Chain A
């Protein structure tokens, strides 16, 4: 490909970026192989879900394409209820998580206040807590506050997982936004909150996109707390529901693959929505130490 389009590369990078055709082929080959490895397991589940259940474990890529796995799933199980529960929990976690990690990140990035260093350390150390130590005491707290089996209980728990990381990332991102912008806000008579809300937040969209993505994925895919806190068919989230479903159907892969596909779709949508910002957002957040 280098031989076919030499002009733009020659213009932009006189020395770098000039590859032999062999190197180009190797590059593409490596990327294609790794992409296949990255995509295949998920693709395989998708293909399986479109086969009739009795052919689920055949090696044919396509066999008698049908949607019966999906219709059976929706008809025979409270899948839609679980789906709605998950959507509610993940949506709330994302909304609240993004908001409070943005305010925290901004405060830590811009102000010097007593307790700041302690807070930063706490946020880091929180990442180290194993689920196993926390889950029983959190269970007790939730039950004494009457939040067991309530979406609110899960949302609060997920916030403790998502927010520390998100706050760090937002802090890194805000550090890249020049302070002069804040100062111009003060000069124009805005309060610190007004500056944050009207000037800085709109500039931080890539950071917010990454934070939102992370919060959503965390809440959408969490298993341990979800299966411990939620009981009863109508309260389960997808993670808990799918567990139940495994037992119920034994090793029947067909309906499970259909469920997996339906579960992956919202996550993929959120991903597509934010992926444009993902690299910029992460780099700003990560590079500024």
Chain B
């Protein structure tokens, strides 16, 4: 789970260089390689299955996806077989045209703005709620394990089942939420059919799905903070807020940086919630980058593989830039809040 945050990886990097430097210093290249194999073969053997699977199933598709983003490939010109006839691919290399189109057109940028709003809203609300609930659960309270089990439940239920449950509740004509509203004399809300309400609804559902993970991770972090620190602070007369600010927050910084980074990446690419709840609708109101990219290659006709790959590569670049900046900022601040 732990994402390698700053300090430690620097130490590791230094260690690696030292190790490599030493082996490079001794003897000829070939014997170095042999020696290297003799010392490291068990480590390599242990990671080999993962490397092979990732290399074949992620590495090749990635290279292929990047290549397609520089072509005009779509359903009509890729290699395909109709019956026994093999039709060779006829798509052409078009350079960076796709990227120029995406970055100068309004569709990509518009979707990007909503994707960023969605990510920031989901991650910040989820984190705040997760932190609050973890704090509530991290004290002596009757029925603590019952509360914890109930609160983790949304995580245990498969995503498509809970999204279905929410669609059922949100149903405009016969869903429970509107039944209650109309029963109380209010007018029904078009939960998934009004652009603004639908945006709030998808955020709410994603927060509901995401809180358990946050809560469990932060609860683990809280439990690892030594109780003596709090006792000492109380002896010194620190009030509850000061204790939270100066003990809890720094104590959680390592786990928080990890879960925030991970959940930002996951939320940015949160395909199932949007896809199953609204299919990006009404119109394109709730379409995030990844669902739109999926739509390009599976739902429109002709299926536009080049466009889809272009968006996919842009998503990847954005996330990598984000991760790099995030790490750098944390390092500058000395990894504190």
Contact = CB atoms under 8 A, between A and B. Distances in A.
Interface of A: 1, 9, 12-17, 24, 27-28, 30-31, 34-35, 37-39, 41-42, 44-45, 48, 57, 59, 100-101, 103-104, 106-108, 111-117, 119-120, 122-138, 140-141, 156-157, 159-160, 163-165, 167-169, 171-172, 191-193, 196, 217, 220-221, 223-224, 228, 238-239, 242, 251, 253, 256-257, 260, 263-264, 267-268, 270-271, 275, 278-280, 282-289
Given A35-B151, A111-B40, A137 B275 contact: no
Given A37-B208, A104-B46, 16 more contacts: A15-B234, A59-B183, A100-B53, A113-B39, A113-B44, A128-B315, A134-B61, A137-B61, A160-B57, A217-B156, A223-B276, A263-B158, A268-B157, A271-B153, A275-B156, A282-B1
25 contacts: A1-B142, A14-B231, A35-B150, A38-B153, A100-B50, A107-B44, A116-B43, A117-B13, A119-B51, A128-B265, A128-B316, A130-B293, A130-B315, A133-B308, A134-B65, A136-B68, A136-B309, A137-B65, A159-B57, A160-B54, A251-B171, A267-B158, A270-B156, A271-B152, A283-B220
Contacts of B51: 119
B140 A41 contact: no
Contacts of A136: 61, 65, 68, 297, 305, 308-309
Contacts of A1: 142
Interface in B113-157: 129, 133, 136-137, 139-142, 147-157
Given A131-B269, A279-B219, A283-B221, A42 B293 contact: no
Given A42-B162, A275-B149, A113 B54 contact: no
A15 B231 contact: yes
A283 to B, nearest CB: 2
Nearest to B291: A132
Contacts of B57: 138, 141, 156-157, 159-160
B290 interface: yes
A228 B294 CA distance: 11
Contacts of B294: 131-132, 135, 224
A280 B30 CA distance: 46
Given A27-B136, A30-B136, A282-B216, A129 B316 contact: yes
B5 interface: yes
Contact of B150 (A39, A104, A193, A283): A39
Contacts of B19: 112, 114
A180 B44 CA distance: 22
Contacts of A140: 64
Contacts of B312: 129-130, 132-134
B4 A221 contact: no
Contact of A286 (B16, B62, B220, B289): B220
B176 interface: yes
Given A132-B293, A271-B152, A280 B220 contact: yes
Contact of B164 (A15, A37, A45, A167): A45
Given A130-B312, A282-B216, A168 B9 contact: no
A132 B266 CA distance: 14
Interface residues of B, number: 117
B85 interface: no
Given A44-B176, A116-B16, A128-B269, A289 B2 contact: yes
A129 B2 contact: no
Contact of B2 (A13, A28, A275, A285): A285
A168 B259 CA distance: 12
Given A124-B3, A128-B269, A172-B1, A106 B46 contact: yes
Contact of A41 (B61, B165, B221, B223): B165
Given A134-B58, A260-B164, A124 B65 contact: no
A285 B309 contact: no
A187 B20 CA distance: 27
Given A282-B216, A287-B220, A133 B150 contact: no
A217 B159 CA distance: 9
A169 to B, nearest CB: 4
A189 B318 CA distance: 49
Contacts of B308: 132-133, 136
Contacts of B224: 283, 287
A122 B257 CA distance: 19
A100 to B, nearest CB: 4
A135 B297 contact: yes
B176 A59 contact: yes
Contacts of B13: 117
A30 B255 CA distance: 25
B91 interface: no
B28 to A, nearest CB: 17
A163 B16 contact: no
